[in-house]
Protein backbone atom coordinates (compact mmCIF):
# COMPACT_ATOMS: atom_id res chain seq x y z
CA UNK A 1 0.00 0.00 0.00
CA UNK A 2 1.51 3.28 -1.11
CA UNK A 3 1.95 6.02 1.50
CA UNK A 4 2.28 9.73 0.71
CA UNK A 5 4.31 11.42 3.46
CA UNK A 6 3.78 15.19 3.47
CA UNK A 7 6.01 17.76 5.18
CA UNK A 8 4.82 21.37 5.19
CA UNK A 9 7.46 24.07 5.68
CA UNK A 10 7.55 27.86 5.53
CA UNK A 11 10.85 29.23 6.88
CA UNK A 12 14.37 29.02 5.47
CA UNK A 13 15.61 29.36 9.07
CA UNK A 14 14.36 25.80 9.65
CA UNK A 15 16.20 24.40 6.63
CA UNK A 16 18.54 22.11 8.59
CA UNK A 17 15.60 20.75 10.59
CA UNK A 18 13.70 20.17 7.35
CA UNK A 19 16.62 18.18 5.93
CA UNK A 20 16.65 15.94 9.00
CA UNK A 21 12.90 15.40 8.73
CA UNK A 22 13.19 14.41 5.06
CA UNK A 23 16.13 12.09 5.78
CA UNK A 24 14.12 10.32 8.46
CA UNK A 25 11.50 9.54 5.81
CA UNK A 26 14.10 8.39 3.28
CA UNK A 27 15.42 5.91 5.89
CA UNK A 28 12.04 4.36 6.74
CA UNK A 29 11.86 0.57 6.98
CA UNK A 30 8.73 0.72 4.82
CA UNK A 31 9.79 1.70 1.31
CA UNK A 32 6.62 2.26 -0.72
CA UNK A 33 6.56 5.97 0.14
CA UNK A 34 6.38 9.15 -1.88
CA UNK A 35 7.79 12.13 0.01
CA UNK A 36 6.12 15.47 -0.69
CA UNK A 37 7.53 18.75 0.65
CA UNK A 38 5.17 21.70 0.47
CA UNK A 39 6.75 25.15 0.78
CA UNK A 40 4.27 27.75 2.04
CA UNK A 41 4.62 31.12 0.29
CA UNK A 42 8.43 31.24 0.40
CA UNK A 43 10.06 31.56 -3.01
CA UNK A 44 13.73 31.59 -1.79
CA UNK A 45 13.18 28.37 0.17
CA UNK A 46 11.37 26.73 -2.75
CA UNK A 47 14.14 27.68 -5.18
CA UNK A 48 16.83 26.44 -2.79
CA UNK A 49 15.13 23.06 -2.57
CA UNK A 50 14.53 22.86 -6.32
CA UNK A 51 18.13 23.68 -7.18
CA UNK A 52 19.70 21.48 -4.54
CA UNK A 53 17.78 18.24 -4.86
CA UNK A 54 16.53 15.91 -7.55
CA UNK A 55 12.79 15.32 -7.85
CA UNK A 56 13.28 11.55 -7.67
CA UNK A 57 14.32 11.96 -4.03
CA UNK A 58 11.20 13.85 -3.01
CA UNK A 59 8.63 16.06 -4.67
CA UNK A 60 8.85 19.79 -4.03
CA UNK A 61 5.70 21.90 -4.28
CA UNK A 62 5.18 25.63 -3.79
CA UNK A 63 1.90 26.57 -2.15
CA UNK A 64 1.03 30.01 -3.47
CA UNK A 65 -2.68 29.60 -2.85
CA UNK A 66 -4.15 29.72 0.67
CA UNK A 67 -1.39 30.65 3.11
CA UNK A 68 -0.85 28.69 6.30
CA UNK A 69 -0.50 25.14 7.54
CA UNK A 70 -4.02 24.07 6.57
CA UNK A 71 -3.60 25.53 3.09
CA UNK A 72 -0.28 23.74 2.65
CA UNK A 73 -1.69 20.44 3.88
CA UNK A 74 -4.48 20.77 1.34
CA UNK A 75 -1.93 21.53 -1.37
CA UNK A 76 0.02 18.40 -0.51
CA UNK A 77 -3.16 16.34 -0.33
CA UNK A 78 -4.13 17.40 -3.85
CA UNK A 79 -0.80 16.13 -5.18
CA UNK A 80 -0.67 12.89 -3.18
CA UNK A 81 -1.20 9.53 -4.87
CA UNK A 82 -0.95 7.20 -1.86
CA UNK A 83 -3.79 5.32 -0.22
CA UNK A 84 -2.55 6.62 3.14
CA UNK A 85 -1.57 10.28 3.64
CA UNK A 86 0.86 10.88 6.50
CA UNK A 87 1.90 14.27 7.89
CA UNK A 88 5.20 15.01 9.63
CA UNK A 89 6.30 18.37 11.07
CA UNK A 90 9.32 20.03 9.46
CA UNK A 91 11.06 20.25 12.85
CA UNK A 92 10.54 16.60 13.77
CA UNK A 93 12.36 13.34 13.08
CA UNK A 94 10.44 10.11 12.54
CA UNK A 95 11.65 6.83 13.99
CA UNK A 96 12.76 4.39 11.29
CA UNK A 97 9.61 2.26 11.61
CA UNK A 98 7.17 5.18 11.90
CA UNK A 99 5.28 4.40 8.68
CA UNK A 100 5.47 0.65 9.29
CA UNK A 101 3.87 1.05 12.72
CA UNK A 102 1.20 3.42 11.37
CA UNK A 103 0.19 0.89 8.74
CA UNK A 104 -0.35 -1.85 11.32
CA UNK A 105 -3.32 0.11 12.64
CA UNK A 106 -4.88 0.27 9.17
CA UNK A 107 -5.40 -3.48 9.04
CA UNK A 108 -8.89 -2.74 10.35
CA UNK A 109 -10.95 -1.35 7.47
CA UNK A 110 -12.93 0.88 9.87
CA UNK A 111 -9.83 2.90 10.78
CA UNK A 112 -9.88 6.33 9.14
CA UNK A 113 -6.92 7.99 10.86
CA UNK A 114 -3.93 7.06 12.98
CA UNK A 115 -1.81 9.27 15.21
CA UNK A 116 1.39 8.40 17.02
CA UNK A 117 3.53 9.24 20.03
CA UNK A 118 5.43 12.55 19.82
CA UNK A 119 8.36 12.89 22.21
CA UNK A 120 10.16 16.19 22.91
CA UNK A 121 13.76 16.56 21.75
CA UNK A 122 15.07 19.39 23.89
CA UNK A 123 17.67 21.57 22.17
CA UNK A 124 18.42 23.03 25.58
CA UNK A 125 17.74 21.73 29.08
CA UNK A 126 14.09 21.17 29.90
CA UNK A 127 12.85 23.93 32.27
CA UNK A 128 12.04 22.40 35.68
CA UNK A 129 8.82 24.43 35.82
CA UNK A 130 7.38 22.86 32.65
CA UNK A 131 4.74 20.23 33.55
CA UNK A 132 4.57 17.16 31.31
CA UNK A 133 0.78 17.60 31.31
CA UNK A 134 1.30 20.67 29.11
CA UNK A 135 3.58 19.13 26.51
CA UNK A 136 0.73 19.77 24.05
CA UNK A 137 1.90 23.40 24.09
CA UNK A 138 5.07 22.10 22.40
CA UNK A 139 3.25 19.86 19.93
CA UNK A 140 4.16 16.73 21.91
CA UNK A 141 2.17 13.95 23.56
CA UNK A 142 1.26 15.08 27.06
CA UNK A 143 1.02 13.21 30.34
CA UNK A 144 -2.62 12.31 30.87
CA UNK A 145 -3.11 11.32 27.24
CA UNK A 146 -3.95 7.67 26.65
CA UNK A 147 -0.73 5.62 26.69
CA UNK A 148 -1.78 2.44 24.88
CA UNK A 149 -3.29 1.77 21.47
CA UNK A 150 -6.84 3.08 21.69
CA UNK A 151 -9.69 4.84 19.92
CA UNK A 152 -9.42 8.62 20.45
CA UNK A 153 -11.35 11.72 19.38
CA UNK A 154 -8.51 13.18 17.34
CA UNK A 155 -4.91 12.79 16.28
CA UNK A 156 -2.26 15.53 16.55
CA UNK A 157 -1.18 17.26 13.37
CA UNK A 158 2.60 16.77 13.34
CA UNK A 159 2.39 12.98 13.72
CA UNK A 160 -0.66 11.62 11.97
CA UNK A 161 -2.05 9.85 8.93
CA UNK A 162 -5.38 9.44 7.18
CA UNK A 163 -6.95 6.95 4.82
CA UNK A 164 -7.21 8.72 1.46
CA UNK A 165 -10.71 7.50 0.60
CA UNK A 166 -11.94 8.92 3.92
CA UNK A 167 -10.31 12.25 3.13
CA UNK A 168 -12.02 12.27 -0.26
CA UNK A 169 -15.37 12.14 1.55
CA UNK A 170 -14.41 14.57 4.31
CA UNK A 171 -12.91 17.34 2.19
CA UNK A 172 -10.12 19.77 2.95
CA UNK A 173 -8.57 21.14 6.14
CA UNK A 174 -10.10 24.47 7.13
CA UNK A 175 -7.91 27.55 6.50
CA UNK A 176 -9.60 29.43 9.36
CA UNK A 177 -7.69 27.25 11.85
CA UNK A 178 -4.14 25.94 11.82
CA UNK A 179 -0.88 27.85 12.13
CA UNK A 180 -0.36 30.83 9.82
CA UNK A 181 3.14 32.23 10.33
CA UNK A 182 3.42 33.28 13.98
CA UNK A 183 -0.32 33.27 14.64
CA UNK A 184 -1.01 30.67 17.31
CA UNK A 185 -4.12 29.10 15.79
CA UNK A 186 -4.04 25.32 16.06
CA UNK A 187 -6.30 22.30 15.88
CA UNK A 188 -6.93 21.84 12.15
CA UNK A 189 -6.45 18.09 12.64
CA UNK A 190 -8.83 18.05 15.64
CA UNK A 191 -11.63 19.61 13.62
CA UNK A 192 -10.84 17.28 10.72
CA UNK A 193 -11.10 14.14 12.88
CA UNK A 194 -14.34 15.37 14.42
CA UNK A 195 -15.69 15.99 10.92
CA UNK A 196 -14.72 12.47 9.85
CA UNK A 197 -16.68 11.03 12.76
CA UNK A 198 -19.68 13.22 11.97
CA UNK A 199 -19.73 12.18 8.30
CA UNK A 200 -18.73 8.54 8.90
CA UNK A 201 -19.78 7.58 12.46
CA UNK A 202 -18.62 3.98 12.12
CA UNK A 203 -15.03 4.99 11.38
CA UNK A 204 -12.32 4.94 14.06
CA UNK A 205 -9.54 7.37 14.97
CA UNK A 206 -6.63 5.45 16.51
CA UNK A 207 -3.72 6.44 18.72
CA UNK A 208 -0.75 4.12 18.17
CA UNK A 209 2.08 4.74 20.69
CA UNK A 210 4.51 2.67 18.62
CA UNK A 211 4.45 5.19 15.75
CA UNK A 212 7.04 7.51 17.30
CA UNK A 213 8.49 10.83 16.23
CA UNK A 214 10.83 13.24 18.03
CA UNK A 215 9.79 16.89 17.96
CA UNK A 216 12.51 19.48 18.44
CA UNK A 217 11.96 22.03 21.18
CA UNK A 218 14.12 25.15 20.70
CA UNK A 219 14.91 27.50 23.56
CA UNK A 220 12.38 30.11 22.43
CA UNK A 221 9.57 27.62 23.00
CA UNK A 222 10.54 27.12 26.64
CA UNK A 223 9.65 30.62 27.79
CA UNK A 224 6.61 31.55 29.83
CA UNK A 225 5.63 34.09 27.15
CA UNK A 226 5.46 31.38 24.47
CA UNK A 227 3.61 29.07 26.87
CA UNK A 228 0.92 31.70 27.51
CA UNK A 229 0.54 32.59 23.81
CA UNK A 230 0.20 28.95 22.81
CA UNK A 231 -2.27 28.16 25.61
CA UNK A 232 -4.42 31.16 24.67
CA UNK A 233 -4.27 30.21 20.98
CA UNK A 234 -5.27 26.64 21.74
CA UNK A 235 -8.32 27.79 23.70
CA UNK A 236 -9.24 30.26 20.96
CA UNK A 237 -8.95 27.56 18.31
CA UNK A 238 -11.01 25.13 20.38
CA UNK A 239 -13.82 27.67 20.56
CA UNK A 240 -13.80 28.01 16.77
CA UNK A 241 -13.89 24.24 16.37
CA UNK A 242 -16.83 23.87 18.72
CA UNK A 243 -18.69 26.63 16.91
CA UNK A 244 -18.22 24.75 13.64
CA UNK A 245 -19.06 21.37 15.18
CA UNK A 246 -21.33 22.13 18.15
CA UNK A 247 -22.17 18.48 18.85
CA UNK A 248 -18.87 17.84 20.65
CA UNK A 249 -19.30 17.73 24.44
CA UNK A 250 -15.70 18.66 25.38
CA UNK A 251 -15.17 15.13 26.76
CA UNK A 252 -11.45 15.22 25.95
CA UNK A 253 -10.99 18.63 27.60
CA UNK A 254 -12.94 17.55 30.70
CA UNK A 255 -10.79 14.43 30.94
CA UNK A 256 -7.67 16.61 30.85
CA UNK A 257 -8.95 18.83 33.67
CA UNK A 258 -9.89 15.74 35.69
CA UNK A 259 -6.31 14.49 35.31
CA UNK A 260 -4.90 17.88 36.38
CA UNK A 261 -6.96 18.10 39.57
CA UNK A 262 -6.95 14.45 40.63
CA UNK A 263 -3.57 13.24 39.37
CA UNK A 264 -1.15 16.06 38.57
CA UNK A 265 -1.84 18.25 41.63
CA UNK A 266 -1.69 15.43 44.23
CA UNK A 267 1.43 13.95 42.57
CA UNK A 268 3.17 17.33 42.52
CA UNK A 269 2.27 18.12 46.14
CA UNK A 270 3.93 14.86 47.20
CA UNK A 271 7.22 16.12 45.70
CA UNK A 272 6.99 19.48 47.50
CA UNK A 273 9.12 18.57 50.57
CA UNK A 274 12.06 17.43 48.40
CA UNK A 275 11.67 19.82 45.44
CA UNK A 276 9.69 22.83 46.68
CA UNK A 277 10.72 25.26 43.94
CA UNK A 278 10.01 22.77 41.14
CA UNK A 279 6.65 21.84 42.66
CA UNK A 280 5.55 25.47 43.13
CA UNK A 281 6.75 26.35 39.63
CA UNK A 282 4.86 23.50 37.96
CA UNK A 283 1.67 24.13 39.93
CA UNK A 284 1.83 27.84 39.09
CA UNK A 285 2.43 27.20 35.38
CA UNK A 286 -0.40 24.64 35.25
CA UNK A 287 -2.75 27.22 36.78
CA UNK A 288 -1.57 29.84 34.26
CA UNK A 289 -2.07 27.36 31.42
CA UNK A 290 -5.64 26.57 32.44
CA UNK A 291 -6.50 30.26 32.92
CA UNK A 292 -5.14 31.42 29.56
CA UNK A 293 -6.61 28.46 27.69
CA UNK A 294 -9.95 29.37 29.22
CA UNK A 295 -9.53 33.04 28.33
CA UNK A 296 -8.71 32.05 24.77
CA UNK A 297 -11.82 29.90 24.62
CA UNK A 298 -13.99 32.77 25.89
CA UNK A 299 -12.44 35.14 23.33
CA UNK A 300 -13.01 32.62 20.53
CA UNK A 301 -16.64 32.09 21.51
CA UNK A 302 -17.26 35.78 20.93
CA UNK A 303 -16.34 35.84 17.24
CA UNK A 304 -18.35 34.95 14.17
CA UNK A 305 -16.76 32.17 12.17
CA UNK A 306 -17.74 30.56 8.90
CA UNK A 307 -16.56 27.36 7.32
CA UNK A 308 -14.41 28.43 4.35
Give residue-wise pLDDT tens across range 258-300.
999 999 999 999 999 999 999 999 999 999 999 999 999 999 9
Give the H or E element holding residue 207: strand 204-217
- pLDDT of the residue at 246: 84
Residues 6+ positions from 142 with CB-CB distance below 8 Å: 132, 133, 134, 135, 136
Q: What is the pLDDT of residues 174-214, one digit of tens each?
A: 988 888 777 778 999 999 999 999 999 999 999 999 999 99
Q: Which residues contact 221 (CB under 8 A, 6 or more apart)?
A: 138
Return d(Cα 109, Cα 84) in angstroms, integer. 12
Give which of 97, 90, 241, 216 is closest to 157, Cα–Cα.
Answer: 90
The H or E element containing residue 63 is: strand 59-63
Instruction: Give the mean pLDDT of the chain.
Output: 94
Query: Under a CB-based contact definition with an 8 Å cutoff, are residues 188 and 234 in contact?
Result: no
> CA nearest 49: which of 7, 92, 6, 12?
12
Answer yes or no: are the C-beta atoms of 152 and 278 closer than 8 Å: no
**Inter-axis angle of helices 224-244 and 276-301, nearest 10:** 40
Q: Per DSSP, what are the bridge partners of residue 87? A: 6, 160
**Residues in the chain, total:** 308
Closest CA to 13 of 44, 35, 59: 44
* Domains of the chain as residue ranges with CATH: 3-301 (3.90.550.10)
Model pTM score = 0.94
Contacts of 164 (CB under 8 A, 6+ apart): 4, 80, 82, 83, 84, 85
Q: Which of 109, 95, 78, 74 is nearest to 1 (CA)?
A: 109
DSSP string, 34-56: EEEEEEES-HHHHHHHHHHS-TT
**Angstrom distance (rounded) from CA 305 to CA 303:** 6
Q: Give the integer Cα–Cα distance in Å for 220 and 227.
A: 10
Q: What's the confidence (pLDDT) of residue 116?
A: 98
pLDDT at 95: 98
Residue 52 has pLDDT above 90, yes or no: no
pLDDT of residue 284: 98
Residue 139: name the closest of 162, 115, 163, 161 by CA. Answer: 115
User: Does residue 118 register a pLDDT over 90?
Assistant: yes
Of all residues in the chain, the percent with pLDDT exceeding 90 is 86
Residues 213-239: what's their mean pLDDT?
95
Instruction: Give dist(CA 94, CA 92) in Å, integer.
Output: 7
pLDDT digits (tens, 9 = 90+) for 14-36: 999 999 999 999 999 999 999 99
Which is more confident, 278 or 52?
A: 278
307 pLDDT band, cuts 50/70/90, is: low
pLDDT at 76: 97
Determine the average pLDDT of the residues in 80-105: 98
Amino acid sequence: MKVSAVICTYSIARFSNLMEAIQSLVEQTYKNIEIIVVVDHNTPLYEKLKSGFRENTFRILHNQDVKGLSGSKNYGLDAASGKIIAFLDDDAVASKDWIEQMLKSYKESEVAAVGGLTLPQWEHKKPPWFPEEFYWVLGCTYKGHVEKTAVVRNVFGGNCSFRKNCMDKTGMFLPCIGLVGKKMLTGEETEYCMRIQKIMPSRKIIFNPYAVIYHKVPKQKTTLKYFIRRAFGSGYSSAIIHKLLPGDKLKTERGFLWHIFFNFIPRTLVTFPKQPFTAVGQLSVAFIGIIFTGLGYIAGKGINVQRK
